[in-house]
Amino acid sequence: MTAEVDILLIEDNPNDVELTLHALRRHHPDLQVEVLRDGAEAIDRIFCTGAFSARNILNRPRFILLDLKLPKVSGVEVLRQIKSDERTRGIPVVALTTSTESRDISVSYGLGVNSYIAKPVDFEEFSEAVRQIGNYWLSLNCSSEC
């Protein structure tokens, strides 16, 4: 399976998008990152429907960074759909969200999220968290081969 992009970043907050992209590209300058701004757009992109119907569902990202608090369709519902479909279940999903509520954490892991990270408020801490996420999922984790 070929990746069209390395990372799908599903995030509606423009400041968080900018910070995440900056941190990822600072440490991984050749990354291809696609930004989606709401849950409905994310579902269309991932499942090749609507504006994304010409895509091949087998061209999967290396991983997805998913905010849980999204407009139109919640990140939890996006996660539910990804992990309940055999074509997309294997895509690693990292929840990168402001929520530290135990219910959100429990529900996310119950649905199959691969990692749950609360967004640090401090810029440097946020940047370091994103750097570590990128290093792990792009360099250390063996997805289909090492």
Return averaged pLDDT per consecutive 10 residues of the chain, 146 residues in all: 78 94 88 95 96 90 95 97 96 94 96 95 90 87 68
Determine contact, residues 91/64, Cβ cutoff 8 Å: yes
* Cβ-Cβ contacts under 8 Å for 115 (sequence gap 6 or more): 92, 94, 95, 133
Residue 45 lies in a domain: yes
CB neighbourhood size of 142 (10 A): 6
Which alpha helices (H) appear in the chain, and where do they start and end?
14-27, 39-47, 75-84, 102-111, 123-135
Q: Round to whole Å and give the CA distance between 93 and 16.
A: 17
Q: How many domains does the chain have?
A: 1
Residue 84 lies in a domain: yes
Quote the pLDDT of residue 1: 45
pLDDT at site 144: 61
Rg of the chain over Cα atoms, rounded to whole angstroms, equals 14
Helix (H/G/I), strand (E/B), else coil: 34: strand
Which CATH number does the domain housing residue 74 bear?
A: 3.40.50.2300
145 within a domain of the structure (yes/no): no
In a domain, residue 1? The reply is no
Domain with 53, as residue range(s), is 7-140
Residue 57 lies in a domain: yes
What integer pLDDT is reported at residue 145 of this predicted model? 60
| pLDDT of the residue at 139 | 82
Residue 121 placed within a domain: yes
pLDDT value of residue 42? 97
What does the chain come to in residues? 146
